[in-house]
Amino acid sequence: MRRGRYGFDAPMALLGLVAGAVILLVLAVTSFGQDVPAAGIAFLLGGLYTLASAASYLYTTRRGKFAVWAAELERLKGDERLLDLGCGRGAVLVLAARRLPEGRATGVDLWRSRDQSGNDESVTRANAEAEGVSVDLVTGDMRELAFDDESFDVVVSSLAIHNIPDAAGREKAVREAHRVLRPGGLMLLADFQHTPAYEDTLRELGVVDVRRRDLGWRFWYGGPWFRTWMLEARKPRAAG
């Protein structure tokens, strides 16, 4: 049972789906009322389809992503230092902190509400307190991380890197994630865009233990056309 309040991912997108479904269903009722059954059926099917997409989106943002990340983080031993890039209100950060009784979880974010409703450092801190865990929070840009090289055993990110608008900036964020990860450390980057480019960047950096996989229906933002991919990688250990 989650005690924190984690908001909605990209709330305007969810509102757009709900509004679209309502408009199409109203048009369907109007068409049937005016004895235009062909148009009514088309609008009805479109409305139900859009409503199903909204339900999928709502499920993912409120339940599905938590279940997926909980399974991903089961591999933690409990003593790692973990960094969450774009931690938002702490959905992944808090899950990780629960599994680190002898470690430490750190979240970094710019706290922008357009990326997640009510996104604010004070909200994230309150969520951690409500869940009974302690975390470190840093206000910062994932393209210029204020951490030393090889500072973390694990680096994670959930639907955050794609918010950087330019390809060069996203590449820099992946390079920064690689820089602060210790040799042998684990990287888990979940996103619904640009993951092949993230993989290319890591391979350019010499990472060979890397794979990209579909996270399944629990991480669909409206349907399979907005599925989420996980990029999993291990930073090579130094030779010798």
Tens digit of pLDDT for each residue in 115-144? Answer: 666 678 999 999 999 999 999 999 999 999
Cβ-based neighbour number of residue 101 at 10 Å: 9
Give one DSSP letter per residue of 12-23, joined into a string.
Answer: HHHHHHHHHHHH
* pLDDT at position 240 over 60: no
For 191, residues 6+ apart whose C-beta sits below 8 A from its C-beta are 157, 158, 159, 160, 161, 162, 198, 228, 229, 231
Q: How confident is the model at residue 3 (pLDDT cuts 50, 70, 90)?
A: confident
Rounded to 10 deg, the angle between the 37-59 and 11-33 helix axes is 160
Mean pLDDT score, 207-219: 96
* pLDDT at position 229 over 70: yes
* pLDDT at position 114 over 80: no
pLDDT for 169-178, tens place per residue? 999 999 999 9
**Residue 202 structure tokens:** 């890591």
Mean pLDDT score, 65-73: 97
Question: Side-chain half-sphere of 67: how many Cα atoms within 13 Å?
Answer: 12
pLDDT of residue 113: 67
Distances (CA, A) of 159 to 22, 59, 101, 163, 228: 27, 16, 26, 8, 8
